[in-house]
Amino acid sequence: GDSRASSKTSADLSAYKNVNDLPPPRDLMIQVDQKNEAILLPIYGSMVPFHVATIRTVSSQADTNRNCYIRIIFNVPGTPFSPLDSNTLKIQGSIYLKEVSFRSKDPRHISEAVQQIKTLRRQVMARESERAERAT
């Protein structure tokens, strides 16, 4: 499949084409799907995919109770360098998911997820900006 073309513009940004393209259901925990450049978040018993290009930042934090928190902030219009901005007109009127945070009992899994998301995001962004440069 030509998944490399999937994040060209936000208008045709698409992580998966079909429901059954999602990875097989596993534990309800944050997962990174490198191949499809997506992250999957457990929300109310379902794994909900988000394309990595929709993500602006990801960070984690620990408290004294061995709890660990992960915060994912998404691109919304009006934020600097948002890759969605070029297409904002098309999707005007939409409501955006801006931020989600999760608590986990497993700090290692959370730090792994943060690293994987950051790396994947960097790769996709580098490729896209290279593509944009070549196009000009």
Partner 1 sequence: MTDGHLFNNISLGGRGGTNPGQLKIYSGGISWKKQGGGKAVEVDKGDIHKVTWMKVPRTNQLGVRTKDGLYYKFTGFRDQDVANLSNFFQNTCGITPEEKQLSVSGRNWGEVDLNGNMLTFLVGSKQAFEVSLADVSQTQLQGKNDVMLEFHVDDTTGANEKDSLMEIAFHVPNSNTQFVGDENRP
Nearest to partner 1 of 61, 129 (CB atom): 61
Q: Which residues bind partner 1 (CB under 8 A)?
A: 10, 13-25, 27-30, 38, 41-51, 54, 69-70, 74-78, 84, 91-106, 109-110
Nearest to partner 1 of 22, 125 (CB atom): 22
**Which residues, including other chains, have CB under 8 Å from residue 61's CB and lie 6 or more apart?**
68, 69, 70, 71
Please give the DSSP secondary-structure letter assigned to residue 72: E
The least distance separating partner 1 from the CB of residue 64, rounded to whole angstroms, comes to: 15
Nearest to partner 1 of 100, 133 (CB atom): 100
SS3 state of residue 111: helix
Instruction: Return the residue matching tokens 């939409």.
Output: 94
Nearest to partner 1 of 9, 129 (CB atom): 9
Rounded to whole angstroms, the Cα distance separating 23 from 67 reads: 27
The least distance separating partner 1 from the CB of residue 132, rounded to whole angstroms, comes to: 20
The least distance separating partner 1 from the CB of residue 126, rounded to whole angstroms, comes to: 19
Q: Which amino acid is at 80?
A: P
Work out the number of other CB atoms within 10 angstroms of the CB of residue 15.
21
